[in-house]
C-alpha cells in the first residue's frame, strides 16, 4: 500500500475551514498544516499546526496544497507552489484575471504538475445525475439552460463581485452538463450594496450547439435559490443544488378537435418525476477525485486549469459586455 499523500491548506476562511474538515478525515491523505495569508490569530482546526508563511508549509514536504485564500491571492500562492514542485487544488475562480489564469496554466503545465480548480457544483449529485441523463439523450435536443443563483450577501467576500464569486459556478456547470462552449454573452450588472463590485447580474448567451443560456445571479435577495433548469424537446430537468434534488417534467400529449390549434406545435403538462439519487457531500467527492487523479498521475475526473481558464474568460466577457452595453463574442477564443 502506498504512503499517504501529504496535503496542506492555504486560507482559513469559511471555505478553508470546510476544506480543513474534509482533509482531516480523507482516506489516503495526511493533513499536515495550514497557512492563512489573512493572518487570523485563531488556532488551526483538527490539531494541525497554523504556520506563519507558505515557505513554512512547503518545508513540511507536502505533495499538494488546497488554495482557499481570497481570489486576489490565488496567482501569488499557486505560482509559489508550482515553483516548489507542489500540486494544487485551487478554489474557484482560478484567478482574478484572464492573464493571471493563463500564467497559472503555464506554470503547472510546463512543470508537469497536477492542478485543479474547485468548481464544486460539478460534484453536486443533482447535476451529476442531470449530466448523465443529458448524455444519454433523455431530454432529446437541448433548447435552453437557465440558472438562478441568488441570496443574501456573504460578508466574507470582499475582493470580487458576484460575477467572479457566484456566476462562475453557473458558467462552468452550464458548459459541463451540456458539453458545449459559450459563443456569445450579453449582460447587465448593478451595484446596490455600497461595495465597489457588482452585486447583481442578468446575462443571456448562446452555446456552440445553438442553445440559449440565461443566468440570474445576485447577492441582494433574502431568498436563497440555487436552480438549474434545462429545457429540451422532451421536457425539462430542474436541479435544486441546495437540496441535491433532480426533477423531470415531461411534455404531455394532448389531442384537440379545435381545427385552428392543430397546426400549433406546442407542449402540455405531462408526468413529473423526482429522481431518487445517492447524495454524497460534493466537497468530499471533489477531494476524493483530486486525490485519485494525483495518485494516478493524470487529470482523472477533476476540473483542469484549462477548464478553469475558460470559465475566467467567459466571466471576463460577461463583465466586458456589461461595461460596454453590447453582446461580446467568444468565437475567437479557442475551446477548452
Give 205-255 pLDDT, tens digit per residue: 999 999 999 999 999 999 999 999 999 999 999 999 999 999 999 998 655
Instruction: Give the separation between CA 82 and CA 113, rounded to whole angstroms.
Output: 7
| Residue 265 pLDDT exceeds 80 | no
Give the fold, CATH level 3, of 5-120+283-304: Rossmann fold (3.40.50)
- Listed by start position, the domains of the chain span 5-120+283-304, 122-280+313-329
CATH among 3.40.390.10, 3.40.50.300, 1.10.287.610, 3.30.360.10 for 122-280+313-329: 3.30.360.10
The grid coordinates of residue 214 equal 440565461
The average pLDDT across 124-139 equals 97
- Residue 187, pLDDT score: 97
The grid coordinates of residue 75 equal 496567482
Our separate counts of H helices and E strands in the chain read 10, 15
210: CB partners within 8 A, 6+ apart: none
CA 58 to chain centre: 27
Decide: 154 and 320 in contact? Cβ < 8 Å: no
Give 53-102 pLDDT, tens digit per residue: 999 999 999 999 999 999 999 999 999 999 999 999 999 999 999 999 99
Read off φ and ψ for residue 29, nearest 5 degrees: -135, 135
- Please state, for a pLDDT cut of 90, what percent of the chain lies above it: 80
Instruction: Give the separation between CA 278 and CA 126, rounded to whole angstroms.
Output: 9
The pLDDT-based confidence of 335 (bands split at 50, 70, 90) is: very low
Amino acid at each position: 500500500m502506498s504512503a499517504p499523500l501529504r496535503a496542506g491548506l492555504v486560507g482559513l476562511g469559511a471555505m478553508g475551514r470546510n476544506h480543513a474538515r474534509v482533509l482531516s478525515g480523507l482516506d489516503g491523505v495526511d493533513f499536515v498544516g495550514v497557512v492563512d495569508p489573512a493572518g487570523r490569530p485563531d488556532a488551526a482546526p483538527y490539531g494541525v499546526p497554523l504556520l506563519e508563511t507558505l515557505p513554512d508549509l512547503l518545508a513540511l514536504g507536502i505533495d499538494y496544497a488546497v488554495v482557499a485564500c481570497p481570489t486576489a491571492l490565488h496567482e501569488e500562492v499557486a505560482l509559489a507552489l508550482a515553483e516548489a514542485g507542489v500540486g494544487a487544488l485551487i478554489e474557484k475562480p482560478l484567478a482574478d484575471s484572464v492573464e493571471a489564469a493563463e500564467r497559472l496554466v503555464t506554470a503547472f503545465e510546463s512543470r508537469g504538475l497536477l492542478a485543479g480548480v474547485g468548481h464544486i457544483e460539478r460534484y453536486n449529485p443533482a447535476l451529476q445525475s442531470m449530466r448523465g441523463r443529458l448524455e444519454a439523450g433523455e431530454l432529446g435536443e437541448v433548447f435552453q439552460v437557465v440558472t438562478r443563483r441568488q441570496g443574501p450577501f456573504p460578508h466574507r467576500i470582499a475582493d470580487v463581485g458576484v460575477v467572479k464569486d457566484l456566476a462562475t459556478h453557473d458558467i462552468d456547470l452550464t458548459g459541463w452538463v451540456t458539453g458545449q462552449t459559450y459563443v456569445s454573452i450579453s449582460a447587465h450588472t448593478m451595484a446596490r450594496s455600497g461595495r465597489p463590485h457588482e452585486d447583481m447580474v442578468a446575462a443571456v448567451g448562446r452555446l456552440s450547439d445553438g442553445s440559449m443560456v440565461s443566468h440570474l445571479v445576485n447577492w441582494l435577495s433574502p431568498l436563497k435559490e440555487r436552480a438549474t433548469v434545462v429545457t429540451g424537446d422532451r421536457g425539462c430537468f430542474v436541479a435544486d443544488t441546495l437540496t441535491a434534488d433532480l426533477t423531470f417534467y415531461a411534455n404531455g400529449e394532448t389531442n384537440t378537435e379545435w381545427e385552428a390549434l392543430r397546426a400549433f406545435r406546442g407542449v402540455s403538462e405531462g408526468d413529473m418525476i423526482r429522481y431518487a439519487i445517492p447524495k454524497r457531500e460534493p466537497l468530499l467527492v471533489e477531494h476524493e477525485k483530486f486525490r485519485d487523479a494525483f495518485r494516478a498521475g493524470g487529470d482523472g475526473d477533476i476540473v483542469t486549469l484549462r477548464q478553469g481558464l475558460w470559465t475566467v474568460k467567459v466571466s471576463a466577457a460577461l463583465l466586458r459586455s456589461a461595461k460596454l452595453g453590447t453582446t461580446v463574442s467568444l468565437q475567437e477564443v479557442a475551446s477548452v
